[in-house]
Amino acid sequence: MAFPQTPLPITRALVERKYDEPTAVQLAVLEAKAEGRDMVVSAQTGSGKTVAYGLAIAPTLLGELMQFDYESDPQALIVAPTRELALQVERELAWLYQYTGARIIACVGGMDPSRERRRLDQGGHIVVGTPGRLRDHLERGALKIGELKAVVLDEADEMLDLGFREDLEFILEATPKERRTLMFSATMPKTIAAMAKKYQRDALRIEAKGSERAHADIEYRAMRVAPNEVEHAVVNVLRLIEAPSAIVFCNTREHVRHLHATLSERGFAAVNLSGELSQSERNHALQALRDGRARVCIATDVAARGIDLPNLTLVIHADLPNDAETLQHRSGRTGRAGRKGVSVLLVPLSRRRKAEMMLQTAKVIPSWTGVPQADEIRKLDQQRMLQDALITQAATEEELDLAKNVLAMKTPEEIAAALVRIYRSRLPAAEDVFDPGPARNEFREAAPTRREKREREFGGEQAPRSYTWFKLDIGRKDNADPKWLLPMICRRGKVTKPDIGAIRITDAETRFEITNEAAARFAAAMVIAEPDDPAMSLLDPSAPMPKSDIPRPKKVYEGKKAFGDKKPFGDKKPFGGKKPFGDKPRYEDRPPHVGDKPKFDRGPKDGFKKDFKPKFEGEAKREYKPKFEGEAPKFPVARPKFKKAESASGGDVPLFKSKKSAWKGKK
**Every domain of the chain and the residues it spans:** 8-209, 212-377, 444-549, 622-667
Summarised one tens digit per residue, pLDDT across range 111-158 is 889 999 999 998 889 999 999 999 999 999 999 988 899 999 988 888
317-364: per-residue pLDDT in tens?
A: 999 998 888 888 888 888 776 678 899 999 988 888 889 989 988 888
Judged against a pLDDT cut of 60, whether residue 164 lies above it is answered with yes
The most confident of 291-295, 416-420, 599-603, by mean pLDDT: 291-295
Question: What's the pLDDT at 83?
Answer: 84
Element (H, E) at 222: strand 218-225
196 pLDDT exceeds 60? yes
List of long-range contacts for 589-597, beta carbons under 8 Å, 24+ apart: none
What is the arithmetic mean of pLDDT over 454-482? 72
607-618 burial, b at 16+ Cβ within 10 Å, e below that, comes to: eeeeeeeeeeee
Question: Quick one: CA dihedral 393, 398, 401, 407, positive or negative?
Answer: negative
What was the pLDDT predicted at 247?
Answer: 93
CATH number of 444-549: 3.30.70.330
Helix 131-140 to helix 165-174 angle, to the nearest 10 degrees?
40
Per DSSP, the three-state class of 408 is: helix
CATH topology of domain 8-209: Rossmann fold (3.40.50)
The reply to whether domains 8-209 and 444-549 share a CATH topology is no
d(CA 317, CA 334): 13
- What type of residue is 44? Q
Q: For 332, which DSSP code?
A: T
pLDDT of residue 439: 53
pLDDT value at residue 553: 53
- 3-class secondary-structure state, position 285: helix
Longest dimension (CA), the chain: 151
DSSP string, 517-572: HHHHHHHHHTTS--TTSPPEEEPPTTPPPPGGGPPPPPP---THHHHTTS-TTTTS
Mean pLDDT of the region 277-289: 83
Q: Does domain 212-377 have CATH number 3.40.50.300?
A: yes
Mean pLDDT of 273-289: 83
Mean pLDDT on 642-647: 48
Residue 667: is its pLDDT beyond 50?
Answer: no
Please state the rounded mean pLDDT for residues 385-402.
80
Provide the pLDDT confidence category of residue 557 given band limits of 50, 70 and 90: very low
In this prediction, residue 35 carries a pLDDT of 87
Q: Are 186 and 43 spatial neighbours (Cβ–Cβ below 8 Å)?
A: yes
d(CA 508, CA 475): 4
Look at residue 23 in the predicted model and tell me its pLDDT: 83
- Phi then psi for residue 81, to 5 deg, are -75, -35
Residues ≥6 apart with Cβ < 8 Å to 462: 456
**Range 53-64 average pLDDT:** 89
**Contact present, 307 and 286 (Cβ < 8 Å):** yes
CA–CA dist 122, 483 (Å, integer) = 68
pLDDT above 70 covers a percentage of the chain that reads: 73
Cβ-contact 75, 148 below 8 angstroms: yes
Task: Say which range, 10-14, 171-175, 368-372, 600-604, has the weakest mean pLDDT.
Answer: 600-604
Q: Which pLDDT value is given to residue 117? A: 92
Q: Using one digit for the tens of pLDDT, what is the confidence trace for 90-118?
A: 999 999 999 998 999 999 987 889 999 99
Mean pLDDT, residues 525-552: 71
Q: What is the pLDDT of residue 331?
A: 86
Residue 582 has pLDDT above 60, yes or no: no
Half-sphere exposure of 265 (CA within 13 A, CB side): 8
pLDDT of 608 over the 50 cut: no
Residue 57 pLDDT class (50, 70, 90 cuts): very high
Q: pLDDT confidence of 246, banded at 50, 70, 90? A: very high
209: number of Cβ within 10 Å: 12
Look at residue 317 in the predicted model and tell me its pLDDT.
Answer: 94
Tell me which H or E stretch contains 84.
helix 83-96
Check whether 560 has a pLDDT greater than 50.
no
**In the predicted structure, residue 652 carries a pLDDT above the cut 70:** no
Assign 3-state DSSP to the chain and report helix, strand, coil percentages, each to 5: 40, 15, 45
Sign of CA dihedral 274, 275, 279, 280: negative
